[in-house]
């Protein structure tokens, strides 16, 4: 076994690998970019080496820097994690040439399975069923369009060199093919440095089922059961579970045999995942299944397999890479495990990634952190959390915005789902937007609970899954009480009532006004006190009999139980202490959590400036920091509602900004290739009837 391993990654997977290294007594060595100098994965490892600027291309994707870091640190082996260089055959070769063990498959296997067209050819030769499509080397646009028409609409365009949903487009009609192909090529080139594509038939009611495989240097290869990853949005997994519901024993056996045959066909070693697309039968089962791709690395969703097998898959990786034979594999899974990915993103804003400082991160206190080993009774932890983000950290625009993975185990599927839903109810992320409430609603979706799933479920149920926003009056009430409570708490530190800058008075307290805004939405709250007690009004609608109980529940967080008239609220508010910090006069963001919903509201202490910052409907602003990759419009051009105005690349994905109404582009204020900040003004628009400014 190795004595030292360099982890060529960041975030939760680097922390996950470090946890196994610590348990086995292996010295772990982190690498970090300038943006990650204080990151959780650096603290989790025994040593750390800087590798360059924040941009991944100049740090985590720079094979030369990482190999040199391994040599300088005295590492014996390199674990690539997932993403970044984990499926780069040249990196695997560079490690070997430097005398380092690459903890992964041989470069030839990565090469064969990394190119989707080549992998499909190999699978056909090995007798593994594949989806009808075009996987050829000729990439002329006209030829690709002809092949798509031959296959028959709808089709799926996929980047040949990548995965994770990047460079993937569904096309339902010939007229949409050219634009979809161009977007797929751009995204594939940016993510993988290769814009080659393949085209496949789009399978009806598709389920995404994958098999965890392992192979060693001694000719052994095993399948560690299946996972269902059908709940996706934008071709990225949202919920994963093991085992997959609704399969017959015969189907499980056929899938496992096909996966092992796929691994043997390329001389595989180490951990890998063979992914299949299966045609759902509409009742929770499947009909035919087809090979989709093989990921030659550990998967994000590997914890659900660990939970139902009791195995540490990272330990297996280390042992296989050190030349040891595979340990004995379990014959059947135990219980059921479900995983969700907690992302810093805005579901109500098209799932756009969100960035910024994490003011509050409340994860389930009872959850085991990175725990794999079963307890004394041989059972896994009921709840597990894998996270590489801590309270006070920042979610960067340079990397994937995943904050944590929450994994629940149960004797039954229903029990696992119930435990996970309960864990999400107690999870709060304040700072960036988060998908917490969306995930909780998804776990309660009727079809998911019934096991009737396909990759289109989220899209069909999206309106319900997005849910309703917090009532502005309720948010204003919670914020008002939190600010008053914070004032009272700060006043308790100074016994002199005449020195207090708070709500204390020896008689009637005149109403105090609070202006709150969320985007274009604004509310005006007033709180006062008279001989009868506290009173509250929102947008001139009064309510008497205001009472509340409050307790600290975290760093700068108040837990409130509020009663006002006939209304009763249980809320959490984050940010009150910062808002009332001495000398704080700027507008401030406060985060309100009520009934599992989260809404950030801005306390406008400089109303005139806030009004100017709110923007208007005649401007197009960047919804996040990113790079302009396409500007298909020009000043003076008439556009129709829904027409693409700007394509922005952020956090490895393209985001299309469209016209909300018919109009004319008044001015283009950015250039293609420019890096822009969150909220930056990109275009000015005017209605078709309006005269341009003189």
- Asked if residues 528 and 447 have their Cβ atoms less than 8 Å apart, the reply is no
Q: Determine how many CB atoms are found less than 10 A away from the CB of residue 139.
A: 14
- The burial class, CB within 10 Å (0-12 / 13-18 / 19+), for 498 is exposed
Which residues are within 8 A (CB) of 345 and not within 5 positions of it... i.e. 6 or more apart?
351, 352, 353, 354, 401, 432, 433, 434, 435
Q: Write out pLDDT tens, residues 113-153.
A: 877 778 888 898 889 998 888 988 899 999 999 999 999 99
Residue 492 has pLDDT above 80, yes or no: no
Rg (CA), the chain: 27
Q: Would you state the structure tokens that stand for residue 306, as one six-digit string?
A: 């660990």
Q: Write out pLDDT tens, residues 286-308.
A: 988 999 899 999 999 999 999 99
Which residues are within 8 A (CB) of 335 and not within 5 positions of it... i.e. 6 or more apart?
307, 308, 379, 380, 409, 410, 411, 412, 416
Name the pLDDT band for 608 (thresholds 50, 70, 90).
Answer: very low
Between 3.30.700, 3.40.50, 3.30.70, 2.60.40, what CATH number should domain 472-609 receive?
Answer: 3.30.700
Q: What is the residue whose two structure tokens read 């389930």?
A: 364
Out of 291-300, 378-387, 576-585, which region has the weakest mean confidence (pLDDT)? 576-585
The helix, strand and coil proportions of the chain, stated in percent and rounded to the nearest 5, come to 30, 35, 40
Whole-angstrom Cα distance, residue 574 to residue 552?
10
CATH topology of domain 616-686: OB fold (Dihydrolipoamide Acetyltransferase, E2P) (2.40.50)
Eight-state DSSP code of residue 298: -
Q: Determine how many CB atoms are found less than 10 A away from the CB of residue 243.
A: 21
Q: What is the mean pLDDT of residues 594-606?
A: 86
pLDDT for 191:
82
Which residues are within 8 A (CB) of 478 and not within 5 positions of it... i.e. 6 or more apart?
560, 562, 569, 571, 573, 592, 594
Q: Write out pLDDT tens, residues 169-218.
A: 999 999 999 999 999 999 888 888 889 999 988 888 999 999 999 999 99
Residue 592 has pLDDT above 60, yes or no: yes
Find the helix or strand (DSSP H, E) in which 38 lies. Answer: none
Is pTM beyond 0.75? Reply is: yes
**Which sequence positions are flagged as catalytic?**
297
Name the pLDDT band for 238 (thresholds 50, 70, 90).
Answer: very high
- Asked if residues 558 and 550 have their Cβ atoms less than 8 Å apart, the reply is yes
- The burial class, CB within 10 Å (0-12 / 13-18 / 19+), for 144 is buried
Q: Write out pLDDT tens, residues 85-111.
A: 999 999 999 999 999 999 999 999 999
Q: What is the mean pLDDT of residues 428-434?
A: 93
β 360-362/336-343 pair status: unpaired
> Dihedral of CA 217/222/223/224: which sign?
negative
More confident residue, 549 or 365: 549
Out of 156-165, 183-192, 258-267, 577-586, which region has the weakest mean confidence (pLDDT)? 577-586
CATH topology of domain 4-103: Rossmann fold (3.40.50)
For 185-210, give one letter per residue: b (16+ CB within 10 A) or e: bbbbbbbbebbbbbbbbbbebbbbbb
Q: What is the mean pLDDT of residues 71-94?
A: 97
Q: Determine how many CB atoms are found less than 10 A away from the CB of residue 43.
A: 12
Name the percent of the chain lying above pLDDT 70.
Answer: 92
Residue among 227, 238, 169 nearest 462 (CA): 238
pLDDT for 124:
87
- Helices 89-97 + 63-73 axis angle, to 10: 30
- Asked if residues 333 and 243 have their Cβ atoms less than 8 Å apart, the reply is yes
Q: What is the mean pLDDT of residues 265-292?
A: 93
Name the pLDDT band for 687 (thresholds 50, 70, 90).
Answer: confident
Between 3.40.190.150, 3.40.50.2300, 3.30.1490.20, 3.20.20.100, what CATH number should domain 132-201 receive?
Answer: 3.30.1490.20
Q: List the beta bridge partners of residue 273.
A: 212, 295
pLDDT for 548:
93
Out of 108-117, 631-640, 681-690, which region has the weakest mean confidence (pLDDT)? 681-690
> Dihedral of CA 580/432/359/482: which sign?
positive
β 428-430/368-369 pair status: unpaired
pLDDT for 493:
59
Q: Is 686 helix (H, G, I), strand (E, B) or coil?
A: strand
Q: What is the mean pLDDT of residues 233-240?
A: 91
Whole-angstrom Cα distance, residue 600 to residue 572?
12
Name the percent of the chain lying above pLDDT 90.
Answer: 65
- Helices 413-425 + 436-443 axis angle, to 10: 150
Q: Would you state the structure tokens that stand for residue 335, as one six-digit string?
A: 């219980």
pLDDT for 425:
92
Q: What is the mean pLDDT of residues 371-394?
A: 86
Residue among 374, 603, 344, 619 nearest 482 (CA): 603
Eight-state DSSP code of residue 625: S
Average pLDDT, rounded, for the chain = 89
Q: Is 112 helix (H, G, I), strand (E, B) or coil?
A: helix
Name the pLDDT band for 651 (thresholds 50, 70, 90).
Answer: low
Q: What is the mean pLDDT of residues 64-90?
A: 97
- CATH architecture, domain 206-466: 2-Layer Sandwich (3.30)
Q: Where are the domains of the chain?
A: 4-103, 132-201, 206-466, 472-609, 616-686
More confident residue, 404 or 620: 404
């Amino acid at each position: 076994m190795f004595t030292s391993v360099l982890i060529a990654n960041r975030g939760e997977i680097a922390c996950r690998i470090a946890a196994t290294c610590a348990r086995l007594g292996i010295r772990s060595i982190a690498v970090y970019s300038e943006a990650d100098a204080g990151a959780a994965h650096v603290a989790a490892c025994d040593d750390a080496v800087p590798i360059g600027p924040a941009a991944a291309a100049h740090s985590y994707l720079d094979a030369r820097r990482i190999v040199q870091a391994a040599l300088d640190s005295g590492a014996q082996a390199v674990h690539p994690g997932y993403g970044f260089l984990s499926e780069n055959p040249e990196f695997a070769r560079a490690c070997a040439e430097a005398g380092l063990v690459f903890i992964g498959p041989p470069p030839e296997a990565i090469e064969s399975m990394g190119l989707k067209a080549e992998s499909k050819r190999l699978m056909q030769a090995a007798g593994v069923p594949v989806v009808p499509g075009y996987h050829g080397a000729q990439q002329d646009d006209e030829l690709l369009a002809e092949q798509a028409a031959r296959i028959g609409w709808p089709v799926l365009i996929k980047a040949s060199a990548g995965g994770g949903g990047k460079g993937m487009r569904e096309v339902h009609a010939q007229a949409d093919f050219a634009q979809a192909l161009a977007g797929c090529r751009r995204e594939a080139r940016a993510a993988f440095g290769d814009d080659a594509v393949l085209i496949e038939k789009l399978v009806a009611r598709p389920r995404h089922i994958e098999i965890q495989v392992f192979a060693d240097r001694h000719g052994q290869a095993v399948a560690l059961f299946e996972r269902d990853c059908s709940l996706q949005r934008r071709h990225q997994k949202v919920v994963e579970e093991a085992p997959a519901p609704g399969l017959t024993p015969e189907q499980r056996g056929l899938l496992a045999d096909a996966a092992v045959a796929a691994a043997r066909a390329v001389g595989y070693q180490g951990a890998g995942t063979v992914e299949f697309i299966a045609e759902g039968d509409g009742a929770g089962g499947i009909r035919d299944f087809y090979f989709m791709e093989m990921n030659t690395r550990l998967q994000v969703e590997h914890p659900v397999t660990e939970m139902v097998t009791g195995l540490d898959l990272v330990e297996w990786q280390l042992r296989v890479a050190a030349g040891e034979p595979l340990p004995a594999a379990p014959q059947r899974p135990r219980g059921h495990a479900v995983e969700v990915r907690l992302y810093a993103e805005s579901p109500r804003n098209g799932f756009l990634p969100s960035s910024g400082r994490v003011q509050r991160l409340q994860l389930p206190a009872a959850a085991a952190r990175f725990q794999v080993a079963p307890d004394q009774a041989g059972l896994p932890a009921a709840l597990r959390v894998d996270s590489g983000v801590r309270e006070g950290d920042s979610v960067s625009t340079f990397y994937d915005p995943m904050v944590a993975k929450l994994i629940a185990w149960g004797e039954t599927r229903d029990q696992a789902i119930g435990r996970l839903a309960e864990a999400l109810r107690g999870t709060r992320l304040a700072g960036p937007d988060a998908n917490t409430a969306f995930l909780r609603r998804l776990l309660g979706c009727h079809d998911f609970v019934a096991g009737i799933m396909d990759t289109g479920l989220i899209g069909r149920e999206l309106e319900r899954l997005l849910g309703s926003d917090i009532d502005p009056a309720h948010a204003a009430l919670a914020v008002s009480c939190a600010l008053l409570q914070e004032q009272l708490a700060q006043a308790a530190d100074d016994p002199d009532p005449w020195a207090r800058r708070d709500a204390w008075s020896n008689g009637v307290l005149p109403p105090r006004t609070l202006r709150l805004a969320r985007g274009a939405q604004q509310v005006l709250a007033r709180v006062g006190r008279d001989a009868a007690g506290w009173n509250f009004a929102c947008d001139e609608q009064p309510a008497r009999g205001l009472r509340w109980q409050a307790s600290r529940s975290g760093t700068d967080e108040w837990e409130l139980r509020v009663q006002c008239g006939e209304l009763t609220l249980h809320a959490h508010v984050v940010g009150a202490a910062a808002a009332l910090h001495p000398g704080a006069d700027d507008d401030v963001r406060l985060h309100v959590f009520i009934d599992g919903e989260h809404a950030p509201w801005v306390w406008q202490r400089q109303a005139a400036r806030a009004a100017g910052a709110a923007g208007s409907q005649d401007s197009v602003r960047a919804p996040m920091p990113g790079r302009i990759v396409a500007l298909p419009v020009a000043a003076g051009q008439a556009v129709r509602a829904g027409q693409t105005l700007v394509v922005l690349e952020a956090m490895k994905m393209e985001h299309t900004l469209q016209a909300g109404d018919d109009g004319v582009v008044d001015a283009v204020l950015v250039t293609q290739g420019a890096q822009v900040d969150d909220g930056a003004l990109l275009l000015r628009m005017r209605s078709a009837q309006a005269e341009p400014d003189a």
